[in-house]
Chains A and B, each alone.
Chain A
């Protein structure tokens, strides 16, 4: 038998001895993680006619709806410096990534109950792996939509270089929420019912279809507690070449790191009991 590396044997105890997720073990399972990232992508648009075009249609149709109802009928477009459709689109793209990641990650553990009760692997891979398809959907949507903006005459500034970091933070933030709810959902299915409208409430609390400045002064600190506020605004500023609000982005990044740490800690505390309660 080949003796590879240092990973030799393990102990099973009532409580996980070390704190948090074992990185060495995750490394052992990297090939499985890769397969779990790829599998939903392989399945997602099978037996559809339009296929991956759905990733473009969704944000575009939403954009049209919001432009007509909020922009024109409710007059929000007067409060925006750029054209409203562009404003909405640059908000809907990252929001779509966040919402899909939160929703899919929350439901992921229950959806994988058949695996969780039959075989061991690091459970955290289940919620983490949804980023495979939510990320791909985002990039396909962005690749199709961004040329539209450039054609409209918008030129991103040097802040575009910040984009990878902002995307990472958006994924990290939504993953934190998703990982947390994926652990709760396995015991209390109430969250499966609550998730859609929780995400919708979050959507309206985040400046996706309205600019952050319409929030009254005394509610500003409250709005900043929502890490998505700074992230969505920063995403938009990077694309449209407007100045990035670094204060807001900083707060969001800090929140994001704290949330992610808490979610991973909670998940690692309870993952050993998933198979008993699912």
Chain B
């Protein structure tokens, strides 16, 4: 019988909403419970409870690569932090059947005053490597990082790219039986990300058990043999990565929805109360459109007060969650901007053809200079572009603008 490498049973983590800024209402209780209470966060007030994770159970077998997906704040990172023992759960239990290495950031434990060499040793140690391990891997780590020439230079003189490369080089030579990874792939340039993906594949091929939290649907599909979808702290589904990713895109990212309305919240001065995708005639979309057909996005902004310099931003994302394009109302002279209090209705006309066939989500944001986004509705609605019977349906890339091809 082979025991699973990771066994998670009804894991839950509760935080107190508002955390620190609690009124000193009952001084006696505060003094009595002062010393033991602060860390427990035991509260009888359910209004202040916030379950970042609840009732999550799953197992991971040896050699499996499990992908964890979900929106920001869904509880993915909390799950990873519990599994890597950074924080303790409020209920439930987990058993990890082997040595664990966790990578929640690149370059953990780097000290700017120390040289590259000294930092490799410290970082290796804090990630759980033994001295002999670091010593025997040292040359390979340095080689992988590509910063050989600067090993005796303090890290504070490194460029940020060099620092990331050295940090990942250490992490990549970690040889635990269970590897927990959070979004490490999101940093660095494309070449570096590719290198990281390669290392992850090696780890999986080498029989290691991996739990990967990522926003990159491509990475999840390529690397994982199982995926888990979390939403608002609860596990929604687990299974084949393709199916889980599709469900995530459908549910969490507003796909398959042509129109969405959002009631304003009490006390919120700003709201984006409606977003919809329509055809050229102003009818809300209910099915796929052809790439050549014109598509419009309509939105309704409600401002309770004036917003000097305010403007609206629209973001289009493709199925993998990559931003395909951004546009704001300052691109066009026909829009008045979002400065005055009141209700603003806007309509954005997109030229056609513009994008390759596929599914796109629309996000709307209200921004103000110089800080940017003030209020947003991420992935509020979506639309699908098809090329029925055409030659463009399987095309890769992002844009489809017919080019002139001439025989000479």
Residues on A lying within 8 angstroms of B by beta carbon are: 1, 8-16, 31-32, 34-35, 39, 42-43, 46-47, 115-121, 184, 187-188, 266, 269-270, 272-277
Pairs of residues from A and B, 5 with the lowest C-beta to C-beta distance, nearest first: A272-B88, A273-B39, A270-B39, A120-B85, A9-B97
Q: Known: A9-B95, A12-B93. Contact between A119 and B109, CB under 8 A?
A: yes
**Interfacial chain B residues near A10, Cβ < 8 Å:** 85, 95-96
30 A-B pairs with C-beta separation under 8 A? A8-B97, A11-B94, A12-B85, A12-B93, A12-B94, A12-B96, A31-B125, A32-B125, A32-B128, A35-B125, A35-B126, A39-B114, A39-B122, A43-B114, A46-B113, A47-B113, A115-B108, A119-B84, A119-B109, A119-B126, A120-B84, A120-B86, A121-B128, A184-B35, A272-B88, A273-B41, A273-B87, A274-B39, A276-B39, A276-B41
Is the pair A118, B108 in contact by a Cβ cutoff of 8 Å? yes
User: In whole Å, how far is A75's beta carbon from the nearest beta carbon of chain B?
Assistant: 43
B residues in contact (CB < 8 Å) with A: 15, 19, 35-36, 38-41, 81-98, 100, 102, 104-105, 108-109, 111, 113-114, 118, 121-122, 125-131, 175, 177, 207
Q: How far is the CA of A187 from the CA of B92 in the complex (A)?
A: 25
Shortest Cβ distance from A254 into chain B, in angstroms?
23
Q: How far is the CA of A14 from the CA of B177 in the complex (A)?
A: 24
Smallest CB–CB gap between B41 and chain A, Å?
A: 7
Q: Which residues does chain B contribute within 8 Å of A35, judged by CB atoms?
A: 121-122, 125-126
Majority-rule SS of B interface residues? loop
CA gap between A13 and B312 in the complex, in Å: 47
Asked if A11 and B93 make an inter-chain contact with CB atoms under 8 angstroms apart, the answer reads yes
CA distance A189 to B86 in the complex (A): 21
Contact A275 B109, CB 8 Å, known A115-B126, A269-B36, A270-B39 = no
Chain B nearest CB from A263 CB (Å) reads 12
Docked pose: A224 CA to B52 CA in angstroms:
49
A116 to B109, CA, bound (A): 10
Q: Are B39 and A187 in contact (CB under 8 A)?
A: yes
Q: How far is the CA of A220 from the CA of B367 in the complex (A)?
A: 69
Complex: A120 Cα to B122 Cα, angstroms: 14
A39, B96: Cβ atoms closer than 8 Å: no
For residue A46, which residues in chain B have a CB less than 8 angstroms away from its CB? 113
Measured between beta carbons, the chain A residues less than 8 angstroms from B35 are 184, 266
Flag if B126 contacts A275 (CB, 8 Å). no
Task: Give chain B residues whose Cβ lies under 8 Å from the Cβ of A121.
Answer: 126, 128
A118 close to B88 (CB less than 8 A): no
Q: Please state if A43 and B111 are interface contacts (CB–CB under 8 Å).
A: yes
Contact of B131 among A9, A31, A116, A118 (CB under 8 A): A31
Chain A residue with Cβ nearest B95:
A11
In the assembled complex, how far is the CB of residue B60 from the closest CB belonging to chain A, in whole angstroms?
13
Q: Looking at B121, B125, B129, which has the most chain A CB atoms within 10 Å of its CB? A: B125
Residues of B within 8 A of A9 (CB): 95-98
Instruction: Determine the chain A residues whose CB is within 8 A of the CB of B86 once the complex forms.
Output: 116-120, 275
Name the contact of A1 in the complex, choosing from B108, B129, B177 (C-beta under 8 A). B177
Given contacts A8-B97, A35-B122, A273-B88, 4 further A-B pairs with CB under 8 A are A12-B93, A31-B125, A42-B114, A119-B126
Determine the distance from Cα of A43 to Cα of B154 in the docked complex, in whole angstroms: 11
Q: A272-B87, A272-B88 given as contacts; is B108 within 8 A of A119 (CB)?
A: yes
Instruction: For the complex, give the distance between the alpha carbons of A121 and B41 in Å.
Output: 23
Using Cβ atoms and an 8 Å threshold, which residues of chain A touch B94? 11-12
Contact between B130 and A31, CB atoms less than 8 A apart: yes
Instruction: Please determine whether B41 and A14 come into contact, CB atoms closer than 8 angstroms.
Output: no
Q: How far is the CB of B297 from chain A (nearest CB, A)?
A: 39
What is the minimal beta-carbon distance from B218 to any residue of chain A, in angstroms?
Answer: 25
Q: How far is the CA of A156 from the CA of B384 in the complex (A)?
A: 89
Beta-carbon contact of A12 and B108 below 8 Å: no
Determine the residue in chain B with the shortest Cβ distance to A116. B86
Q: How distant is the Cα of A184 from the Cα of B35 in the complex, in angstroms? A: 8
Given contacts A12-B95, A35-B122, A121-B126, contact A275 B87 (CB under 8 A): yes
Given contacts A118-B108, A269-B36, A277-B39, contact A14 B88 (CB under 8 A): yes
Q: Which residues of A contact B111 (CB under 8 A)?
A: 39, 43
Complex contacts, A274 vs chain B, CB 8 Å: 39
Q: Closest residue to B121 on the A side, CB-wise?
A: A35
CB distance from A145 to the nearest CB of B (A): 28
Q: How far is the CB of A80 from chain B (nearest CB, A)?
A: 40
Of B39, B41, B102, the most chain A CB neighbours within 10 A belong to B39
Instruction: List the B side residues contacting A8 at CB < 8 Å.
Output: 97-98
Shortest C-beta distance, A272 to chain B (Å), equals: 4
Task: Tell me if B89 and A13 are in contact (CB < 8 A).
Answer: yes
Taken together as a complex, chains A and B put the C-alpha atoms of A109 and B344 apart, in Å, by 50
Alpha-carbon distance A117/B126, docked complex (angstroms): 13
A207 to chain B, nearest CB (A): 30
Report the nearest A residue to B7, measured CB to CB.
A11
Is the Cβ of B96 less than 8 Å from the Cβ of A188? no
B231 CB to nearest A CB, Å: 22
Chain B residues, CB < 8 A from A47: 113
Complex-state Cα separation, A276 to B42, whole angstroms: 13
B93 in contact with A13 (CB, 8 Å): yes
> In the bound complex, how far is the Cα of B102 from the Cα of A104, in angstroms?
28
Q: How far is the CA of A36 from the CA of B39 in the complex (A)?
A: 25
- List chain B residues, Cβ under 8 A from A184: 35
Q: How far is the CA of A15 from the CA of B118 in the complex (A)?
A: 36
Interchain CA distance A14-B129 in the complex, whole Å? 27
Chain B residues within 8 Å of A116, by CB: 86
Give the shortest distance, in Å, between A220 (CB) and chain B (any CB): 30
B86 to chain A, nearest CB (A): 5
Please tell me if the beta carbons of B105 and A118 are within 8 angstroms of each other in the complex. yes
